[in-house]
Amino acid sequence: MYKKIILATASASLLAGPAHAVTAATGTTAPVMTVTTVTTTPATTASNGATVTTVTTVTTNVIDATVIAPALAPTLPVIPDKLPAHPQWNSSASLGLTVAKGNTDTLLVNGQISSAKITKYNEFTVGLEGGYGEQNTVKDVESLHGYGQWNHLFTPRLFSYLRADGLHDGIAELDYRYTLSPGIGYYFVKNTNTTFAAEVGPGVVFERLGGIDDTYATLRVGERYEHKFNPRTRFWESIEVLPEVDKWQKYIANAEVGIEAAITKTLSLKTYVQDNYVNRPALDRRNNDIKLVSGISVKF
């Protein structure tokens, strides 16, 4: 009597199909572990009297589920407990001075300060500018203008805005003109070097012009364009028109165009032209007030 041992070996990659699917979905090769299972059946007696024992060895390729499971899980956005700190305000101040003595006695001072802050969903701009001048001891410039605007971004290009302006011009006999205007705006161009946006919305104007108080509803339509030729030089222009709603022939138009060139990291030379047009000015006053301003600007 003798024992006959039959050794049967089977090799199977049971999860090979899913492993390839995971590789296609995740872009990475699934890690595989080899597991060998040996099974021995009890001895049996063959017809010829021999004892037969069967040993089966099965080798299986198994995917390491601890690694694949995270790859198959959906990727969810990570929302931090707190948003990053908002950017700081970027501010600048400029001053221009003209003094002449001799055959003429001239004094002209222009100043401007502005600040802006841009966050993920909001844009803020505020500013104050003014000028004072005398010609042969006769005052010929007396203006003060303040403004502020808040843009709330719904998308990177579409936004709502709220703007407030205040203007005093003693030479034009404008004691004050306050304008409040909400509205909607859109960036037609918005990239690193160039922006172009248009705005439209209702508004209300409070003014005292030529000693007469007036309050009226208006429709504000405006646009602003800015382009940076390089990190040291930029150009900008803006226009806004504000007609009286029930008297379209009465309107105000404000325009500005300027250029700024850096001298150092914090100093630059700024030159701009402002045009304030009122088609119904105070008595004995002209429609147009044009100013050319040039001065040194300091960033801080």
Identify whether 84 is part of a domain.
Answer: no
Token duo for residue 178: 């306050």
Residues 21, 99, single domain; the answer is no
Q: How confident is the model at residue 23 (pLDDT cuts 50, 70, 90)?
A: very low
Residues 140, 7, single domain; the answer is no
Which one of 38, 72, 106 terminates a domain?
Answer: 72
> What's the pLDDT score for residue 278?
94
Q: Annotate the chain with three-state secondary structure.
A: CCEEEEEEEEEECCCHHHHHHHHHHHCCCCCEEEEEEEEECCCEECCCCCEEEEEEEEEEEEECHHHHHHHHCCCCCCCCCCCCCCCCCEEEEEEEEEEECCCCCEEEEEEEEEEEEECCCEEEEEEEEEEEEEECCEEEEEEEEEEEEEEEECCCCEEEEEEEEEEEECCCCEEEEEEEEEEEEEEEEECCCEEEEEEEEEEEEEEEECCEEEEEEEEEEEEEEEEEEECCEEEEEEEEEEEECCEEEEEEEEEEEEEEEECCCCEEEEEEEEEEEECCCCCCCCCEEEEEEEEEEEEC
CB-based contact 63:19 (threshold 8 Å): yes
pLDDT > 90: what percent of the chain? 57
Token duo for residue 252: 């105000």
Residues near 292 by beta carbon (within 8 Å), at least 6 away in sequence: 271, 272, 273
Residues 63, 144, single domain; the answer is no
Residues 211, 251, single domain; the answer is yes
Q: How far, in Å, CA of 271 to CA of 102, rounded? A: 27
**pLDDT higher than 70, residue 94:** yes
Residues 155, 120, single domain; the answer is yes
Residues 248, 197, single domain; the answer is yes
Identify whether 281 is part of a domain.
Answer: yes
Q: What is the pLDDT of residues 158-201, one digit of tens each?
A: 999 999 999 999 999 999 999 999 999 999 999 999 999 999 99
Residues 61, 106, single domain; the answer is no
Residues 11, 123, single domain; the answer is no
Range with lowest mean pLDDT among 65-79, 225-239, 267-281:
65-79
What mean pLDDT comes out for the span 223-251?
A: 94
Tokens 């007036």 sit on residue = 214
CA dist 235 → 40, 148, 258, 267 (Å)? 87, 21, 6, 16
Residues 207, 66, single domain; the answer is no
Q: How confident is the model at residue 45 (pLDDT cuts 50, 70, 90)?
A: low
Identify whether 266 is part of a domain.
Answer: yes
CATH number at residue 159: 2.40.160.40
Q: What is the pLDDT of residues 46-61, one digit of tens each?
A: 555 655 555 555 555 5
Residues 263, 149, single domain; the answer is yes
**pLDDT higher than 60, residue 149:** yes
Residues 63, 125, single domain; the answer is no
Q: How far, in Å, CA of 134 to CA of 105, rounded? A: 8
Q: How confident is the model at residue 226 (pLDDT cuts 50, 70, 90)?
A: very high
Q: How confident is the model at residue 97 (pLDDT cuts 50, 70, 90)?
A: confident
Range with lowest mean pLDDT among 57-66, 120-129, 210-219, 251-260:
57-66
Token duo for residue 11: 């090799």
**pLDDT higher than 80, residue 148:** yes
Smallest Cα–Cα separation from 190: which of 148, 228, 161, 160?
A: 228
> What's the pLDDT score for residue 151?
98
> What's the pLDDT score for residue 101?
85
Identify whether 82 is part of a domain.
Answer: no
Residues 30, 178, single domain; the answer is no
Token duo for residue 224: 């602003």
**pLDDT higher than 90, residue 42:** no
> What's the pLDDT score for residue 247?
86
Q: How many domains is the chain partitioned into structurally? A: 2
Token duo for residue 147: 């403004």
What mean pLDDT comes out for the span 74-90?
A: 54
Q: What is the pLDDT of residues 249-260, one digit of tens each?
A: 899 999 999 999
> What's the pLDDT score for residue 102?
83
Smallest Cα–Cα separation from 10: which of 59, 55, 63?
A: 59
Identify whether 243 is part of a domain.
Answer: yes
Domain housing 97 = 90-299
Identify whether 81 is part of a domain.
Answer: no
Which one of 13, 44, 72 terminates a domain?
Answer: 72
Range with lowest mean pLDDT among 39-53, 127-141, 228-242, 245-259:
39-53
